[in-house]
Each structure stands twice: as C-alpha cells, then as structure tokens.
Amino acid sequence: ALLAGFLAAGCVPVDTRPPAAPPAVRVIHVPGGGAAPDAEVDARGAIHLAFILAGDAWYAVSRDGADSFGFPVRVNSVVGTAAPAGRFRGPDLALSPPNGPHPGRVHVAWYADDYQAGRPRESWGVRYAFLDPPGEAFIAERNLNHRPSDNYSLAAGPGGAVIVAWTADGLFLNRSADDGATFAAAERVEGADPCECCATRTAFAADGGLGLIYREKAGNRRDEHLIAWGRGQTRPERRRLGAGPSWELDACPMTGAFLRPAVGEGWLAAWQTAGRVSWARLDGRGRPAGPAEVRTAADQGWFPVILEAPDGTVCVSWKDAGRLMWECFDAVGLPRGLPGVVTAANPHRHAGIVTAAGGFLLID
C-alpha cells in the first residue's frame, strides 16, 4: 500500500542506505624476509605461499587468514640451487582443483641457477615438483627443459591438467594429463616470438579453457598478447592487448604481466606497456569483455597483480619507486574508494589473493 501511494503521487522510493564499502585491502610481508612470492587459496580458505629465501624455494601455508604461517618446506631438492629473486622472477604455485583426481595437490615451478652459476649443461632449466597435503616434503624435483629459461609460469586445471610455459628462442608448453606425475615433450606455440626477459603468466578459466599472457618482441614491438585455447578449441587464438600504436623498444623492459580466472567467464589480465599499467576482463576467447574493456590503473608501474572479489570488485596492485600501490574498481571499471600505498619490502614482484572472507591480501 505504501509503494502504491508513492507511485500514485508520482514519487519513486529512494534507497538512502550508503553504498557498501569495497572489500578491505591488507598487506603482509613474506615470512622470514623472503621475496618474489606466489600464492593461492584452497577450497577451505587456507593460503598456500611459495617464495625465495637464501638460495632456496620455499613453501608455507596459513590456516588462520595469514595471521601466521606454518614452518616452511624447501621445494628444491638440491640445497642452494634456486635462482635468486629477480624482479618478476620467483617460484610459481598452483593448486589442483577440489574436484580433480588429486584435490589440493600443490604444484611449484621455479628456475635453478645452474646456468648462471656455470654448472654443467645437463643441469640447466626450469624445475618442477609437487606435494600432496598434508605431506611433509615435495617429490624430487624434475628438470623440464634443460635450457636457460628464466621466464616460466604454471597452471593446474580440470581433470589432472597441469601446464608449464617457458621461453627460450620461442614460447613452449609442457603438458601433463596426470596432475604432474608425467609431462609430455615440450610443444612450441606457433606464431609467438616472446620477449624472453618479460614474464609470462598462464591460467585456466572456470570452464577449463587455457589462457597465456606474454610480451611479443617481433620487430621490437613490445606489446602484450593473450593466447587463448577456449573450451573445445583445438587451435588457439592470439590477440594483442590494448589499442593505439605499438610500443617500439629496442630492449627488454623486464617487467611482468598477470592473468587469473575471472569469477565468471574468461580471465582477468593486468600488464605494463610503455610504463602504463592496464587491465581488462577477457572472455573465453581472449577478447576484452564487459563495459570496462581496457582500463588504466596507473601511468607508471611494474609487476602488476589483479584480483577479483566475489562481489565483482577488482583490485589491481603494482610496484613503483619503492612503493607497493593498489586501486580497486567496480564492475564497470570505475574507481571504488581511494588508492592505497605502502613502502615496499623489496624491489621484486609481490603476490595477491582473495581471502575466504572476500577481502584482498597483498603479500610482499
């Protein structure tokens, strides 16, 4: 009756409640002063963390929302052989999905410093190992490619699929169909001419499609590209990210990009081109999707990370001039709340996750 009265009087009821606050952003440091972390959250809300410290790759888990982490486990089998943290370079971590053959299996890929240290050629390359919680040790590390290749990324997906991507005079994938127990021989991604010193990032979408973001270097045009193997597609689609003139640079900018599955379809991507940090929602074929299309998060920044809360809020974070910075955006790409900034713990990349409570956690 009250609503009918408003309408009869030509009035429309107004919601006077203040808009909901954006999800909180919290920043913590890597345990023990470690650097170049990567992190994921499992179905029970536990936070799994991999990082570099004192010449080794380490893994630790928090079950109290990052208030504390358990005793770290060394990932690399040979002590002191993990490559040191270097800008975007550090271990990549992925978790097998809860409905897979090995729910919650922890996968880690990292780079050994054998090439840089002048060790024998057969020891060069990207390493991989996994751990089945609550196990106390990772399986013996495996060398996937025996080549200098300090640009690599890792993803775990449905049905026991695990992908390790890496660059060395080309872009390559090692695929596993048994949750990392074995890997097929490396396959070259045709049409890609990657910048070997800029980060790749690979991720499975919610529907099982595979995406890979990387920087091209053909003709010294250093633009970011997304390669998408959509669900059911046997041939990938490759797209340049962003519009306008290509970034021409006769050098490697040595920065990073980030890719993660969106809450719905496709992926969220963040990248740096000519200093600018951009981000976009991408559909299952790698095309910019939604009303925001490509947005700018910062005019200058390095090593961006992008996260999405359950309510659709997106948080983009990056590093610049000794600072860790971030900004949140609503579902149409408009800023939500004030940007944030803290002093960075180190000059290397950071990590980020969405907590079980729906907040953003940045790990530096």
At 346, the pLDDT band (50, 70, 90 cuts) reads: very high
Indicate the SS3 state at residue 142: strand
Place of tokens 């950071």: 350
Token pair, residue 49, equals 């963390």
Token pair, residue 11, equals 């009035």
- Check the CA dihedral 211-215-217-218 and report its sign: positive
At 318, the pLDDT band (50, 70, 90 cuts) reads: very high
pLDDT higher than 50, residue 14:
no
Q: With 0-12 CB in 10 A as exposed, 13-18 as middle and 19+ as buried, what is 193?
A: middle
Confidence (pLDDT) at 6: 28
Confidence (pLDDT) at 11: 37
Q: Report yes or no: 259 and 210 within 8 Å, Cβ to Cβ.
A: no
- The mean per-residue pLDDT over the stretch 235-256 comes to 89
Before 133, cis peptide (omega within 30)? no
Residue 244 Rama label (left phi>0; alpha psi -120 to 50; beta) = left
- The mean per-residue pLDDT over the stretch 82-96 comes to 93
Which pTM value belongs to this model? 0.92
Q: Which helix (H) or strand (E) holds 267?
A: strand 267-273
pLDDT higher than 50, residue 116:
yes
**What values do phi and psi take at 185, rounded to 5?**
-60, 150
Q: Report yes or no: 69 and 49 within 8 Å, Cβ to Cβ.
A: yes
**What values do phi and psi take at 159, rounded to 5?**
65, 20
At 289, the pLDDT band (50, 70, 90 cuts) reads: confident
Strand-strand pairing, 25-28 and 360-363: parallel
pLDDT higher than 80, residue 9:
no
pLDDT higher than 60, residue 338:
yes
Confidence (pLDDT) at 3: 30
- The mean per-residue pLDDT over the stretch 235-263 comes to 90
At 291, the pLDDT band (50, 70, 90 cuts) reads: low
**Residue-averaged pLDDT of the chain:** 91
pLDDT higher than 60, residue 7:
no
Q: Report yes or no: 313 and 354 within 8 Å, Cβ to Cβ.
A: no
- The mean per-residue pLDDT over the stretch 291-319 comes to 92
The residues that bridge with 270 in the sheet, in sequence order, are 258, 279
Q: Which residue has better confidence, 56 or 285?
A: 56
pLDDT higher than 70, residue 17:
no
